[in-house]
Amino acid sequence: MTDFEIYRFTSRPAAPAVATVGFFDGVHLGHQYLFRQVRALAADQGYAALAVTFDRHPRQVLSADYRPKLLTTLPEKLDLLAASGLDACAVLRFTPAMAALTSGAFMSRYLVGAFGARSLVVGYDHHFGSDTGATLADYQAEGRAQGLEVVPAPAFSTAEFTVSSSTVRRLLEGGNVERATQCLGRPYALAGTVVEGRHLGRDIGFPTANLRPSDPGKLVPGRGVYAVEATVDGHTYGAMLNIGWRPTLADGRGPTIEAHLFGFSGDLYGRGLTLRFFHRLRDEQRFDSLESLQAQLRTDAARCRRLLGL
């Protein structure tokens, strides 16, 4: 059994290849810019454009108590890599033994030996291998010894904001889904299964679908009320979403993710639901009565509809 799997997105053979290495969480605009460099060099050389990534965040192996807040699950990441125009992706099973490899050993065993890479595009300020002090010059010298051209990619920059996976995480945790969308190049998405709740929303005129995320490691944006789109069974609805602890009820049930789908009627229990975040309306807050909560929900719903163009 090999310690990697190759996913092919096009009919082009996956080797020889121009490769790039990274975890690529979120596949944000910086990653997409890097992939354009890979695709351009691959087209110039007549090779496949290959992304090399890992099945888990490397820090999960290096630090046993690390719990990542992922922007993308592996299936989501593969879909986004395919949409980026790459020919293939190699997914490595990251282990302590792999973490111990130097950059030269990683090149030899995987990039050159397993994947037939002829060129490696190194992202701005990206490092790999246990020799954490290695520089671009070191990578290039090692690459020359192995017949692997190492090419630095220009840094991605914008006058408006800095783009990185950690930046996107901070934005989402703070509820700034609008700026996160700018960094990702698309709205942030959260998928899962609808589970049964207390039915209070239905009783006050706003039935909700309670989402249980499919991956517990996926980041849930910060508490508050959001305007989102909800997709179920291939149909998309505008929706009002609350993430939080339901302070008006004080029911001690823990945080919930509850979406009210505009124009939907029926039973969603057990069905898959995907949410895409567009706008944050306000903080979660406590109301003195259910009537006050209901009045605020009417205001929130009207605002959501306007923001979503409904």
What tokens were used for 112? 């050159």
Element (H, E) at 74: helix 74-83
d(CA 14, CA 17): 6
- Expressed in angstroms, the distance from the first to the final Cα of the chain is 52
Element (H, E) at 143: helix 136-146
Fold of 4-152: Rossmann fold (3.40.50)
In the chain, pLDDT over 70 holds for what percent of residues?
93
Q: Write out pLDDT tens, residues 113-145.
A: 999 999 999 987 788 888 888 889 999 999 999
What tokens were used for 279? 């706008």
The DSSP 8-state label assigned to residue 115 in this structure reads T
Q: Write out pLDDT tens, residues 180-210.
A: 999 999 999 999 999 976 656 565 667 889 9
d(CA 129, CA 103): 4
d(CA 137, CA 124): 14
Domain ranges in the chain? 4-152, 165-308
d(CA 125, CA 102): 17
More confident residue, 64 or 21: 21
Q: Write out pLDDT tens, residues 76-93.
A: 999 999 999 999 999 999
Confidence (pTM): 0.90
Strand locations in 203-250 (E) = 209-213, 224-232, 235-244
Fold of 165-308: Elongation Factor Tu (Ef-tu); domain 3 (2.40.30)
